[in-house]
């Protein structure tokens, strides 16, 4: 086993974001829709330890979701 395999990282997959008041969140019920600041063709962003490392595309196959990496972001961008 590699020494790197045991190091924990924080991985985030970001579809989009929005700003909404807490009162609106508290009024939401099951099935509520939250509009995001992106379109369906915009890339999904992949962050490792709060640093953008890649862009991808969400794939859905029945009940399974996966992320296809379409671009690895160079450091300093």
Assess contact for 14 and 37: CB atoms under 8 A: no
Assigned token pair, 38? 């992106």
pLDDT at 77 over 60: no
Average pLDDT over residues 5-10: 92
* CATH, residue 62: 2.30.330.10
To which H or E segment does residue 42 belong? none
Total number of domains in the chain: 1
pTM score of the predicted model: 0.76
Q: Which residue segment(s) compose the domain that 61 sits in? A: 11-72
Is the residue at 6 inside a domain?
Answer: no
Rounded Cα gap, residues 57 and 77, in angstroms = 20
pLDDT of 34: 93
The pLDDT tens digits for 40-74 are: 889 999 999 999 999 999 999 999 999 999 999 99
Q: Residue 43 burial (CB < 10 Å; 0-12/13-18/19+)? A: middle
- pLDDT of 1: 66
């Amino acid at each position: 086993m590699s020494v790197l395999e045991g190091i924990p990282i924080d991985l985030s997959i970001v579809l989009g974001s929005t700003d909404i008041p807490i009162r609106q969140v508290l009024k939401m019920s099951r099935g509520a829709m939250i509009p995001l600041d992106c379109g369906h063709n915009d890339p999904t962003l992949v962050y490792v330890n709060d640093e953008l490392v890649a862009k991808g595309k969400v794939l859905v196959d029945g009940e399974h979701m996966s992320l296809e990496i379409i671009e690895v972001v160079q450091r300093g961008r």
